Amino acid sequence: MMQPPWRREQREHFPGVPAWSLATSRLAPEEFGVSRLEDVTREWAWGDADGAGVRVCVLDTGVEAGHPRVGGLERSLVVADDGADLTVVDCDPVDPAGHGTACAGVIRSIAPAVSLTSVRVLTDGRSGSGAALMAGLRWAVEEGFDLVNLSLSTTRSQFLPVLHELADRAYFRRCVLVASAHNMPVVSFPWTFSSVISVASHDEPDPMTYYYNPAPPAEFYARGVRVPVAWPGGREIRSTGNSFAAPHITGICALILSRHRWLTPFQLKSVLYLAASNVVVSEGDAHVRA
């Protein structure tokens, strides 16, 4: 993956400063393409953006590419076991369960011009091996996707160290992980990680209404109750779950990134906060409206 000059420079050694430091003589604001994020409104955040130029990976049960609400895929892949190792290989763009198609359709409905890739890591819509999840996520991070939608989680603590490592790697590579909270009150991962954008549900019908939660681990609430979603066979059903709240935020993130490509994951999360429906910005300050 191509890296900006400032990131390559950070790997150089500058006499008199510790490793991974930067000599201030090399620091120029235009090199970083950053902003103070002044006057962030929804118009500033995404305006009339459509997600063009943003690549999203959906790690799920697969995606039915021909569904009218999905509108095609860049690629369709599956985590395959060749007997010696797990590999990510191309496959037919189908979904044996429906869950991934539902999530992809939600993302497309919000960001119609986004580029979608499907990686099948779940087999029946509810379960899959932790090893398959790790392999799929590692592939997505290394491929340099802008956003990865994870409408899934694991309760198995043995995967915690590897998931943490992958989430941190994604964060520093500007690959944003959007993860749904578990539907049950149990401890699970990776949505509880601070390096991801975690999403639970609210029960309002507007797909663009979302709320900041000042009491994490779930940081945002998005539409997740009786959501009209795409389903295999060209069908549409209504379904409820945090799984369908996450792709609403993924779609909104795609809109923001298509307009502001320079945003880091930290800045993107800040923009989401400032543009949330319950956050009021006045006189340079932002606070959560009760």
Helices 130-142, 160-172: crossing angle, 10 deg rounding: 10
Ramachandran category for residue 112: left, alpha or beta (phi over 0 → left; psi -120 to 50 → alpha)? alpha
- Cα separation of 67 and 94, whole Å? 10
> Which amino acid appears at position 222 of this protein?
A
Q: Which domain holds residue 115?
A: 50-279
Residue 38 lies in a domain: no
Domain count, the chain: 1
Residue 32 lies in a domain: no
Residue 219 lies in a domain: yes
Residue 274 lies in a domain: yes
Q: What confidence tens digit (pLDDT) does each residue in 56-111 have?
A: 999 999 999 999 999 999 999 999 887 678 899 999 999 999 999 999 999 999 99
Residue 98 lies in a domain: yes
**Kind and range of the H or E element at 239?**
strand 235-239
Residue 234 lies in a domain: yes
Residue 287 lies in a domain: no
Q: What confidence tens digit (pLDDT) does each residue in 188-202 have?
A: 999 999 999 999 999
Q: What confidence tens digit (pLDDT) does each residue in 180-190 have?
A: 999 998 889 99
Residue 164 lies in a domain: yes
Give, in degrees to the nearest 5, the angle at Cα 179 between 87 and 117.
Answer: 45
DSSP labels for 53-116? T-EEEEEES---TTSTTT---SEEEEEEE-SS-EEEEE--S--SSSHHHHHHHHHHHH-TT-EE
Q: CATH number, domain at 56? A: 3.40.50.200
